[in-house]
Structure 1
Amino acid sequence: MLGRVLESKRLVTRILRTPGFWRYPRTKEAPTLLQTRRILCNKAEDTRNVISQTAIPGRSAFRNDRRPSAFDKKILLWAGRFKKEEDIPALLSPEVIKAATSRVRIKACYASIALTLLGCLVMILSGKQAAKRDDTLLRKNMEKKAKWRAEVETDLEAAAAKAQ
């Protein structure tokens, strides 16, 4: 359908017959011609007037504040944004809550890094102490297998004693 419209002779002739198309192809007067045509289209001004009438005075028109939940309040406190829960306003912008969650996420990452390093140090120290006591996995495994063999031998002797 669009192809038919574009191929139609009416559209081409309308473009060629527009007043500024042939008269002002590349002159300084062409922008003024376009500006005079834009004056007739004042939708942007109408929307600004409607927005200014409906918006709360002293606030921006497109601000989308929201009420923080209990978890959001905890995050805001953990992030250090507010000192007490009573200091948190009833409405907050999403940017404030997002910044606080990012800060808490970073703190949690640092805590996990610190706990991982602490765990590695504990494992290194316990491994060194076990090596001093000669408490290796190989030795533990051999002791366990020897214990199992002894249990099997005692069971076989008990079964042989019952059979006689």
Structure 2
Amino acid sequence: MRPLRTEPLTAEAFAPFGDVLDATGDFRLINAGLCQRHHDRATLDFGDARAGISIFQAQPRALPYSFDLIERHPDGSQAFIPMTQNPFLVIVAPDPQAEPRAFLTNGAQGINLHRGTWHGVLTPLHSPGIFVVVDRIGPTPNLEEHRYTEPWTVLAP
């Protein structure tokens, strides 16, 4: 077992891998001043394909959490937006040979993974694990997987 500690998900720490989707920072008021619009929070990238919106329902996991699989989507970005206010685990790595990082969302954050970012599978920590996923819909495969020879175990902070 190779231990990996979680860290809080912040825009600065996550920037090499993608965008944090949350309602912080600058905004403008819309809808007669009753709604804050936090504008253009992610760089969506689908290459020569189109954007699709899917609903994922993933089984919840618990910490400590053991994993040996990461994946990436070389032809498009992928956004995960929870439909509940529960934290979820986000595992990312610069490449399969580098040590991964484990981020813990605060329950009011989603993420957008940049095109080609190595990441773990969708890992909700509470039920129901329902997410809106915005990603590439195209005619060619958009998935590469890597299995570690020795699993990592994500530990609570």
| Fold match by TM threshold 0.5 | no
Structure with the larger RCO, 1 or 2 (CA within 8 Å, 6+ apart): 2
Larger % of helix: which?
1
Larger % of strand: which?
2
The TM-score, its normalising length taken from structure 1, stands at 0.15
Which one has a bigger Cα radius of gyration? 1
